[in-house]
Structures are given as structure tokens and as C-alpha cells.
């Protein structure tokens, strides 16, 4: 959870805005399901990140959604790493002690790894669809 305490954010900002600007801030706050302060902080972060500007190409995710995506990616990565480790173990044992590797056991492990990799690919596909739906834009993950 993000620390919103006075210790974490000791500075206060007072800004004068027109009625139209205040209404735009209210709408943005409602659309993003966050406070007006969070909208202003989002704008500040967008400006600070390499000079990027909020605009047509910007997609903003709230804290819960962005951390849900990160959790899902970590889970997918963990499963992927475990699958690769299993394959490496099979390969190592087969190289070092070929007589100790039963073909049936290796085949069963490969079936499990194949199922896990299919799950990883499907999960990335679902995540891509979720991001596209949330952002109302096509999503492309260059690593998949």
C-alpha cells in the first residue's frame, strides 16, 4: 500500500483553478476512481518520467489494478522459472547418468512442463486482453 502519511509526503500544494479546470479534475478523479490529490500526483509522475506528457497515448492504472498486474506477472514468471528448472534438471541427469533416467519419468515431467508452459502462454494472453480492455487500446507484450 502506498504511504500517504504526512511524513511520506510533507509538502502541500495549493493551486488556483478555474471552474472548468476543477470540474475536469473532478471528472478525472471519478473516472480513475481516486482522489483529486492522486490525480495531481499522477500528472506530476507523468511529467517527471522522462518528460512524457499526459495525452491520447497515456494509460493510467489505479494502485490496485497495477499491483494486480504485477502480482500476475510475478506468478507467471515464477511458474515459467520452475518449468525451466525442471527441464534443466532432466537434461543434467540425462547427461550425467543416462542409465538412471527412465524414459517414462522424463516423458511425464515433460508433459507437466508442457502443461505449465501452455498455462503461462494462456495467462499472458489473458493479461494482454485485460490490459487492452482496461486501456481501450490494443496491448502488445514484446516478450511473448
d(CA 2, CA 109): 42
Position 116 pLDDT exceeds 50? yes
Integer angstrom CA distances of residue 73 from 81, 84, 87 = 12, 16, 21
Position 143 pLDDT exceeds 80? no
- Enumerate the H helices of the chain as residue ranges: 19-32, 36-48, 63-96, 103-135
Across 20-24, 52-56, 107-111, which has the greatest mean pLDDT?
Answer: 20-24
Question: Which is more confidently placed, 127 or 63?
Answer: 127
Is this model's pTM higher than 0.75 or not? no
CB distance 72 to 123 below 8 Å: yes
Band of residue 20 on the pLDDT scale cut at 50, 70, 90: very high
pLDDT of residue 19: 93
Average pLDDT over residues 27-41: 84
pLDDT of residue 144: 38
d(CA 57, CA 136): 11
pLDDT of residue 96: 87
Average pLDDT over residues 2-25: 83
Contacts 24+ apart (CB under 8 A), 86-92: 86/112, 86/113, 87/113
Amino acid at each position: 500500500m502506498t504511504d500517504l502519511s504526512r511524513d511520506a509526503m510533507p509538502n502541500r500544494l495549493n493551486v488556483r483553478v478555474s471552474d472548468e479546470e476543477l470540474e475536469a479534475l473532478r471528472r478525472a478523479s471519478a473516472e480513475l476512481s481516486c482522489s483529486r490529490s492522486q490525480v495531481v500526483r499522477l500528472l506530476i509522475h507523468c511529467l517527471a518520467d522522462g518528460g512524457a506528457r499526459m495525452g491520447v497515448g497515456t494509460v493510467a492504472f489505479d494502485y490496485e489494478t497495477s499491483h494486480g498486474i504485477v502480482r500476475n506477472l510475478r506468478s507467471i514468471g515464477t511458474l515459467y522459472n520452475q518449468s525451466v528448472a525442471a527441464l534443466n534438471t532432466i537434461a543434467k541427469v540425462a547427461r550425467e547418468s543416462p542409465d538412471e533416467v527412465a524414459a517414462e519419468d522424463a516423458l511425464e515431467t515433460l508433459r507437466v512442463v508442457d502443461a505449465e508452459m501452455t498455462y503461462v502462454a494462456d495467462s499472458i494472453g489473458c493479461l494482454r486482453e485485460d490490459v487492452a480492455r482496461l486501456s481501450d487500446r490494443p496491448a502488445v507484450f514484446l516478450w511473448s
